[in-house]
A and B are shown apart, each in its own frame.
Chain A
Amino acid sequence: MLEARLEQANLLKKVVDAIKDLVQDCNFDCNDSGIALQAMDNSHVALVSMMLKSESFSPFRCDRNIALGINLGSLTKVLRCAQNEDILTLKAEDAPDVVNLVFESAETDRISEYDIKLMDIDQEHLGIPETEYAATITMPSAEFQRICRDLSALSESVSIECSKEGVKFNCQGDIGSGSIHLRQHTNVDKPELNVEIDLTEPVSLTFSLKYLVNFCKASGLSNQVKLCLSNEVPLLVEYALASNSYLRFYLAPKIGDEE
């Protein structure tokens, strides 16, 4: 039996919106520590890992480990029926056929309830070790989104170079080239505008911009985004959520034959 009450339906709406283009069907693995999701995109070069800790819910109850196989398209349709400020409750039996979503509006005493049919999804699960990255960049998520959007107008891929001087996003396209330079920056009044660079060795990697633009759909979830890079290792883009929950994206770097 699963029962998870989320104070704001908004959170789940945003999460699902951010990942539904990458992943169509996936398992929500529920256990007593929370709700987790891991899925790869169709071409298996990107991976989404979501963890909503039980503390993000009030109350949270999950007696048995259950995997809720949900089509994200269907989930989006149902979540559209919820107002951003609604209280959302997820419910499922121990061996469920459906997942039940209840939206309660605090203002109007309106209660709406939806069931989504579940599916059996056979997906492979990757074990992702905790890695020490050579470079960790923390920046405003809006800034990262702007960089990706601006550069994607010029090119398919961006190279991210991180050195002592700062971080450089650089792209070469048919119509020309562009580059954006960021330096470490501390804003006392508005800490959400800080740019922090934590570097142990310089790195330079190339990534597909279309995927990055896609990851940026999660920008609404958090003011700051964390990019973790090491040479020859997938990039980690992390949006931290309240109470240790997170939404992480991994993207394989482009190696070798660049056109």
Chain B
Amino acid sequence: MAITRSKPSSKASNNKSEPDTFTPTPAQILPASVSNPPKLFVLPKDTSTEARIVTLNNPANSNPSRYLFCPEKGFYEFTKIAAPKKTPRSWLITSSQSRDGVFKTPDSEECTAQETDKRRTPTTDGETTISDGYITSSPDLFVATPLDILFLILPALSPQSPKQALNEHFLSMEDHLDVLTTASRRLKHLLRDVRLEAMISKRMEAFCDSVDAGDEKMYRLSVKKLLSILVQKAERMIKNGLPVSMEDKFIRPALEVPVMSVKREESRISIVSATVSESTEAQETTATPSSTSSDSQATAASPSLFTPPEISHLLRLRTALTYLFSSYIPAPLHKPLKDLLSSSNSPSFTPLDTHLAHLAKLRAEATVLRSLSDNISRKRGFEDEDEKAAEREEKKLRKEEEDKKRKMETRGAKMLKKVDTSGMKKLSAFFTRVPAKGK
């Protein structure tokens, strides 16, 4: 009990002291919280003054999304970094002057400066400004990262439905842009800037076939060029390894070699026979089964046996490509790209496929073996039997819970259950449902 009481109170004293340390007037009252708190952005350095946040269609699913556009540097997309739900956090935003170097980190300095700039203008009439220190309850941080303009033009060049063949005709840049601007009016507005048009035409050359028709250049999407660009991007993405969460989800489990050795002597023999193709190392250990230590070595060694580095590299590459496809490439283009990818040789995934197939086979064998040894130890080890038992257990639990609930019910509640509600409409017929407040 002492813990629950003391913890909040210490936090409370912390919070209260914050405005005191950072503001010149100690008796300042914190402003009331607002329903739409300011958001914290980390924006790129040295963007031009014309840079702004625009709403464009997301290239992959054409939902409207926000992008930062700078006429000199191109487009940036926003990545939201949120605190985990179970550990809510807030931002304390202060300017560098009022902070007196207490929390000085280079990163936060950059973003706070921008935040204060944005906020200073509307709050001139003696209200507290953000530079005096501000606590925002929303813990999200939006980071702007450069986005290849290629992805934004791609929807215009791709066929509208998967069935439709790729557009065979060469079209002028104007025509391509027309397609783009009919889909998004805001882009049309942006395209008035000559610099953007230059940027687009430069980028189009990289992934389109082009021909000169008089004084105009005509373009056609080249799946081959596009794929090579994507592969380059994917290579760059995995150069420093994938993020840990992706690695944990897609790479490690896929390459896991099932543990094949079982303590039982007889069953080990069957393993060796089942995996004859495996290395000599395993056979050596089975040849000297007398000591227990060698046993454990065999188990430890077997998982690492079969993952050559180029296989994991290929798998990472493929994961990165899948990620690029799903988040940036319009759906109608997926099929031609994937077809080309499977037939191309530059990154050839055949070794990976054979390896994965091999692993799948091993896994199947391992499960067969395991159920075999289960049979020996428990006699009645059929899986359906297990399932049935679990189901029964669950039913019983549910029934007990219901019984408990019924017992907890008050007399009044039981009485109300008996009330004849015929002719009474449900309240949801009168009042509109409100979606659960997003949290």
Which residues of A does B touch, CB under 8 Å? 1, 3, 20-22, 24, 29, 32, 40-47, 61, 63-65, 67, 71, 73, 91, 93-95, 98, 100, 102, 113, 115, 122, 124-129, 156, 208, 210-211, 214, 217, 233-234, 250, 252-259
Chain A residues closer than 8 Å to B24, beta-carbon distance:
none
Contact B409 A64 (CB under 8 A): no
Q: Of the candidates A44, A91, A211, which one forms a contact with B8 in the assembled complex, judged by CB atoms under 8 Å apart?
A: A91
B412 beta carbon closer than 8 Å to chain A: yes
Contact A254 B424 (CB under 8 A): yes
Provide a sorted-by-A list of 10 A–B residue pairs whose CB atoms are within 8 angstroms: A22-B413, A24-B409, A93-B7, A124-B436, A125-B435, A126-B428, A127-B434, A233-B430, A234-B430, A252-B424
A229 to B405 alpha-carbon distance, docked (Å): 35
Q: Which of B40-48, B85-93, B263-271, B327-335 forms contacts with chain A?
A: B85-93
Question: Which B residue sits closest to A157, measured CB to CB?
Answer: B420
**Contacts A3-B8, A126-B434 given; does A45 touch B427 at CB 8 Å:** yes
Contact B433 A126 (CB under 8 A): yes
Contact B410 A100 (CB under 8 A): no
Contact B427 A113 (CB under 8 A): no
CB distance from B369 to the nearest CB of A (A): 41
Q: How many residues of B contact A (CB 8 A)?
A: 46
A214 to B433 alpha-carbon distance, docked (Å): 25
A168 to B429 alpha-carbon distance, docked (Å): 27
A233 to B429 alpha-carbon distance, docked (Å): 10
Contact B424 A95 (CB under 8 A): no
Chain B residues closer than 8 Å to A91, beta-carbon distance:
4, 8
Contact A210 B419 (CB under 8 A): yes
A250 to B422 alpha-carbon distance, docked (Å): 17
Contact A95 B87 (CB under 8 A): yes
**Contacts A124-B428, A126-B434 given; does A257 touch B422 at CB 8 Å:** yes
Chain A residues closer than 8 Å to B437, beta-carbon distance:
29, 65, 125
A44 to B433 alpha-carbon distance, docked (Å): 13
Question: Which A residue sits closest to B87, measured CB to CB?
Answer: A95
- With a 10 A CB-CB cut-off, give which of B85, B412, B437 has the most chain A CB atoms: B412
A-B CB proximity, top 8 nearest: A21-B412, A126-B431, A127-B434, A44-B426, A254-B423, A252-B424, A45-B424, A125-B434
Q: Of the candidates B11, B12, B427, which one forms a contact with A40 in the assembled complex, judged by CB atoms under 8 Å apart?
A: B427
Q: Of the candidates A63, A95, A115, which one forms a contact with B85 in the assembled complex, judged by CB atoms under 8 Å apart?
A: A95
Contact A46 B5 (CB under 8 A): no
Contact A65 B428 (CB under 8 A): no
**Contacts A21-B410, A64-B137, A125-B436 given; does A42 touch B416 at CB 8 Å:** yes
A94 to B11 alpha-carbon distance, docked (Å): 11
Which residues of B does A touch, CB under 8 Å? 1, 4-5, 7-8, 11-12, 15, 32-33, 85-88, 90, 137, 405, 408-413, 415-417, 419-437, 439
A113 to B8 alpha-carbon distance, docked (Å): 15
Question: Which A residue sits closest to B435, measured CB to CB?
Answer: A125
CB distance from B140 to the nearest CB of A (A): 14
Chain B residues closer than 8 Å to A95, beta-carbon distance:
85-88
Contact A127 B433 (CB under 8 A): yes
Contact B430 A252 (CB under 8 A): yes
A61 to B16 alpha-carbon distance, docked (Å): 12
**Contacts A21-B412, A21-B413, A208-B420 given; does A63 touch B137 at CB 8 Å:** yes
Question: Which B residue sits closest to A253, measured CB to CB?
Answer: B424
A24 to B410 alpha-carbon distance, docked (Å): 9
Question: Which A residue sits closest to B420, measured CB to CB?
Answer: A156
Chain A residues closer than 8 Å to B87, beta-carbon distance:
95
**Contacts A20-B410, A21-B412, A73-B408 given; does A126 touch B427 at CB 8 Å:** yes
Chain B residues closer than 8 Å to A67, beta-carbon distance:
439
A43 to B426 alpha-carbon distance, docked (Å): 8
A89 to B431 alpha-carbon distance, docked (Å): 34
Contact B427 A252 (CB under 8 A): yes
Q: A42-B416, A126-B428, A126-B431 are in contact. List 18 more A-B contacts (CB 8 A).
A: A21-B411, A21-B415, A32-B33, A43-B417, A64-B137, A65-B437, A73-B408, A73-B410, A115-B4, A124-B433, A124-B434, A125-B436, A127-B433, A208-B420, A208-B424, A210-B415, A252-B424, A257-B423
Q: Of the candidates A1, A32, A71, A211, which one forms a contact with B11 in the assembled complex, judged by CB atoms under 8 Å apart?
A: A1
Question: Which B residue sits closest to A257, measured CB to CB?
Answer: B423
Contact A208 B419 (CB under 8 A): yes
**Contacts A42-B417, A95-B87 given; does A127 touch B423 at CB 8 Å:** no
A214 to B434 alpha-carbon distance, docked (Å): 26
CB distance from B414 to the nearest CB of A (A): 9
Q: Of the candidates A208, A234, A259, which one forms a contact with B427 in the assembled complex, judged by CB atoms under 8 Å apart?
A: A234
**Contacts A115-B4, A208-B424, A256-B423 given; does A214 touch B416 at CB 8 Å:** yes
- With a 10 A CB-CB cut-off, give which of A67, A100, A115, A252 has the most chain B CB atoms: A252
Contact A24 B433 (CB under 8 A): no
Contact B416 A250 (CB under 8 A): no
**Contacts A24-B413, A252-B427, A255-B423 given; does A93 touch B8 at CB 8 Å:** yes
